Amino acid sequence: MVRALILALASLLLVAAARADLQLTPRISQYEGDGVKFKQLVFSDGGAQEITYSPPRGWDYSGNVNQLTLYPPNKSQAEATIFKVPLSQPASFDDETVKRLVDEALASVPTGSTSVHLISQEKNPLMIERKETLLLTLTYNFYGQSYSRSILFLNRRKEQIRFQLACRGADFKELQKTFLGSQYSWQNL
Protein backbone atom coordinates (compact mmCIF):
# COMPACT_ATOMS: atom_id res chain seq x y z
CA MET A 1 0.00 0.00 0.00
CA VAL A 2 2.76 2.46 0.96
CA ARG A 3 4.76 1.53 -2.14
CA ALA A 4 1.73 2.18 -4.40
CA LEU A 5 1.19 5.55 -2.74
CA ILE A 6 4.84 6.52 -3.23
CA LEU A 7 4.68 5.50 -6.91
CA ALA A 8 1.50 7.52 -7.41
CA LEU A 9 3.04 10.62 -5.80
CA ALA A 10 6.23 10.24 -7.85
CA SER A 11 4.15 9.99 -11.03
CA LEU A 12 2.25 13.16 -10.15
CA LEU A 13 5.50 15.03 -9.51
CA LEU A 14 6.92 13.90 -12.86
CA VAL A 15 3.78 15.03 -14.70
CA ALA A 16 3.87 18.41 -12.93
CA ALA A 17 7.57 18.87 -13.74
CA ALA A 18 7.03 17.93 -17.39
CA ARG A 19 4.28 20.53 -17.73
CA ALA A 20 6.17 23.36 -16.01
CA ASP A 21 7.10 25.08 -19.27
CA LEU A 22 5.10 28.06 -20.46
CA GLN A 23 2.61 27.35 -23.25
CA LEU A 24 2.26 30.50 -25.39
CA THR A 25 -0.98 29.51 -27.12
CA PRO A 26 -3.25 32.35 -25.93
CA ARG A 27 -6.82 32.24 -24.72
CA ILE A 28 -8.74 35.49 -24.43
CA SER A 29 -10.16 36.62 -21.12
CA GLN A 30 -11.99 39.83 -20.33
CA TYR A 31 -12.25 41.69 -17.08
CA GLU A 32 -13.86 44.94 -16.03
CA GLY A 33 -12.26 47.80 -14.13
CA ASP A 34 -13.98 51.10 -13.39
CA GLY A 35 -16.73 50.22 -15.86
CA VAL A 36 -14.29 49.60 -18.73
CA LYS A 37 -13.83 46.15 -20.29
CA PHE A 38 -10.26 45.03 -20.79
CA LYS A 39 -8.93 42.11 -22.79
CA GLN A 40 -6.03 39.99 -21.63
CA LEU A 41 -4.36 36.86 -22.92
CA VAL A 42 -4.23 33.79 -20.71
CA PHE A 43 -1.53 31.13 -20.84
CA SER A 44 -0.75 27.97 -18.91
CA ASP A 45 2.35 26.32 -17.54
CA GLY A 46 0.57 23.42 -15.91
CA GLY A 47 0.47 25.18 -12.55
CA ALA A 48 -2.54 26.07 -10.46
CA GLN A 49 -2.55 29.76 -11.47
CA GLU A 50 -3.18 31.10 -14.95
CA ILE A 51 -0.55 33.37 -16.47
CA THR A 52 -1.94 36.58 -17.96
CA TYR A 53 -0.61 39.30 -20.25
CA SER A 54 -2.24 42.39 -21.71
CA PRO A 55 -0.75 43.14 -25.13
CA PRO A 56 -0.52 46.74 -26.31
CA ARG A 57 -3.92 48.17 -27.28
CA GLY A 58 -4.74 47.70 -30.94
CA TRP A 59 -1.95 45.22 -31.63
CA ASP A 60 -2.98 41.98 -33.36
CA TYR A 61 -1.50 38.70 -32.21
CA SER A 62 -1.19 35.02 -33.00
CA GLY A 63 0.39 32.26 -31.02
CA ASN A 64 1.33 28.64 -30.69
CA VAL A 65 2.87 26.56 -27.94
CA ASN A 66 6.34 28.08 -28.37
CA GLN A 67 5.79 31.64 -29.62
CA LEU A 68 3.43 34.59 -29.37
CA THR A 69 3.70 37.11 -32.21
CA LEU A 70 2.35 40.66 -31.98
CA TYR A 71 1.74 43.07 -34.85
CA PRO A 72 1.45 46.82 -34.24
CA PRO A 73 -1.21 48.61 -36.30
CA ASN A 74 -0.16 50.46 -39.47
CA LYS A 75 3.47 49.29 -39.26
CA SER A 76 3.98 46.75 -42.03
CA GLN A 77 7.63 46.09 -41.23
CA ALA A 78 7.33 45.66 -37.48
CA GLU A 79 6.87 42.55 -35.40
CA ALA A 80 7.22 41.65 -31.74
CA THR A 81 7.69 38.07 -30.63
CA ILE A 82 7.67 36.42 -27.26
CA PHE A 83 9.22 32.99 -27.31
CA LYS A 84 10.88 30.53 -25.01
CA VAL A 85 14.25 28.81 -25.08
CA PRO A 86 14.88 25.76 -22.86
CA LEU A 87 17.70 26.00 -20.31
CA SER A 88 19.58 22.96 -19.03
CA GLN A 89 19.50 24.51 -15.55
CA PRO A 90 18.33 27.76 -13.95
CA ALA A 91 20.58 30.61 -15.09
CA SER A 92 21.63 34.13 -14.14
CA PHE A 93 22.91 37.07 -16.16
CA ASP A 94 26.59 36.74 -15.24
CA ASP A 95 29.32 38.14 -17.49
CA GLU A 96 29.78 34.89 -19.43
CA THR A 97 26.03 34.53 -20.09
CA VAL A 98 25.68 38.18 -21.14
CA LYS A 99 28.56 37.80 -23.63
CA ARG A 100 26.95 34.66 -25.09
CA LEU A 101 23.55 36.38 -25.39
CA VAL A 102 25.12 39.43 -27.08
CA ASP A 103 26.85 37.15 -29.59
CA GLU A 104 23.56 35.31 -30.25
CA ALA A 105 21.66 38.58 -30.72
CA LEU A 106 24.21 39.96 -33.18
CA ALA A 107 24.15 36.67 -35.12
CA SER A 108 20.33 36.65 -35.23
CA VAL A 109 19.91 39.54 -37.67
CA PRO A 110 18.70 38.56 -41.15
CA THR A 111 21.29 37.05 -43.46
CA GLY A 112 22.74 39.76 -45.67
CA SER A 113 22.44 42.50 -43.03
CA THR A 114 25.21 45.07 -42.87
CA SER A 115 26.38 47.62 -40.28
CA VAL A 116 25.30 45.43 -37.38
CA HIS A 117 25.93 47.22 -34.05
CA LEU A 118 25.10 46.60 -30.43
CA ILE A 119 23.70 49.95 -29.25
CA SER A 120 23.09 49.14 -25.60
CA GLN A 121 22.88 46.42 -23.00
CA GLU A 122 21.10 47.01 -19.73
CA LYS A 123 20.58 44.69 -16.81
CA ASN A 124 17.18 44.95 -15.12
CA PRO A 125 15.60 47.81 -17.07
CA LEU A 126 12.40 46.34 -15.67
CA MET A 127 11.59 43.47 -13.38
CA ILE A 128 8.80 41.08 -14.31
CA GLU A 129 7.31 39.23 -11.36
CA ARG A 130 10.54 39.97 -9.40
CA LYS A 131 12.63 38.22 -12.04
CA GLU A 132 15.77 39.82 -13.41
CA THR A 133 15.96 40.85 -17.05
CA LEU A 134 18.59 41.80 -19.59
CA LEU A 135 17.81 44.18 -22.47
CA LEU A 136 19.93 44.28 -25.64
CA THR A 137 19.34 46.83 -28.39
CA LEU A 138 20.98 46.63 -31.81
CA THR A 139 20.76 48.22 -35.23
CA TYR A 140 21.45 46.92 -38.72
CA ASN A 141 20.83 47.72 -42.37
CA PHE A 142 18.89 45.30 -44.51
CA TYR A 143 18.29 45.89 -48.22
CA GLY A 144 19.15 49.57 -47.83
CA GLN A 145 16.81 50.21 -44.88
CA SER A 146 17.78 50.90 -41.28
CA TYR A 147 16.29 48.55 -38.66
CA SER A 148 16.43 48.29 -34.89
CA ARG A 149 15.88 45.26 -32.70
CA SER A 150 15.57 44.83 -28.97
CA ILE A 151 15.59 41.58 -27.04
CA LEU A 152 14.58 41.43 -23.39
CA PHE A 153 15.70 38.19 -21.71
CA LEU A 154 14.02 36.76 -18.62
CA ASN A 155 15.10 33.53 -16.92
CA ARG A 156 12.20 31.48 -15.61
CA ARG A 157 13.17 28.24 -13.91
CA LYS A 158 14.47 26.00 -16.72
CA GLU A 159 13.45 28.21 -19.61
CA GLN A 160 14.32 31.64 -20.87
CA ILE A 161 11.58 33.92 -22.16
CA ARG A 162 12.66 36.35 -24.87
CA PHE A 163 10.66 39.46 -25.73
CA GLN A 164 11.87 40.69 -29.12
CA LEU A 165 10.88 43.71 -31.20
CA ALA A 166 12.17 44.25 -34.74
CA CYS A 167 11.14 47.22 -36.88
CA ARG A 168 12.35 50.08 -39.04
CA GLY A 169 14.66 52.41 -37.17
CA ALA A 170 12.24 55.33 -37.58
CA ASP A 171 9.47 53.42 -35.75
CA PHE A 172 11.61 51.90 -33.03
CA LYS A 173 11.43 54.46 -30.21
CA GLU A 174 7.60 54.60 -30.22
CA LEU A 175 7.09 50.84 -30.61
CA GLN A 176 9.78 49.96 -28.06
CA LYS A 177 8.15 52.19 -25.43
CA THR A 178 4.75 50.58 -26.06
CA PHE A 179 6.03 46.98 -26.19
CA LEU A 180 8.24 47.26 -23.10
CA GLY A 181 5.43 49.02 -21.23
CA SER A 182 3.14 46.07 -21.87
CA GLN A 183 5.59 43.72 -20.14
CA TYR A 184 4.54 45.16 -16.76
CA SER A 185 1.14 43.51 -17.26
CA TRP A 186 2.44 39.92 -16.84
CA GLN A 187 0.88 38.13 -13.86
CA ASN A 188 2.01 34.79 -12.41
CA LEU A 189 4.89 34.46 -14.87
In angstroms, rounded to a whole number, what is the distance separating the alpha carbons of residues 30 and 39?
5
For residue 20, the model assigns a pLDDT of: 65
For residue 19, the model assigns a pLDDT of: 45
What is the share, in percent, of the chain residues with pLDDT greater than 70?
89
Q: Are 164 and 149 in contact (CB under 8 A)?
A: yes
Which stretch of DSSP H or E encloses residue 30? strand 23-33
pLDDT mean over 71-82 = 96
Residue 158: closest CA among 3, 9, 21, 12: 21
pLDDT mean over 41-52 = 92
Residue 121: closest CA among 108, 135, 138, 109: 135
pLDDT mean over 179-183 = 97
The whole model's pTM is what? 0.86
CATH hierarchy code of domain 71-185: 3.40.1000.10
For residue 84, the model assigns a pLDDT of: 96
Backbone dihedral region of 8: left (phi > 0), alpha (psi from -120 to 50 degrees) or beta?
Answer: alpha
Residues in the chain: 189
For residue 128, the model assigns a pLDDT of: 93
In angstroms, rounded to a whole number, what is the distance separating the alpha carbons of residues 42 and 51?
6
- Where are the chain's structural domains? 71-185
For residue 86, the model assigns a pLDDT of: 94
pLDDT over 50 at 12, yes or no: no
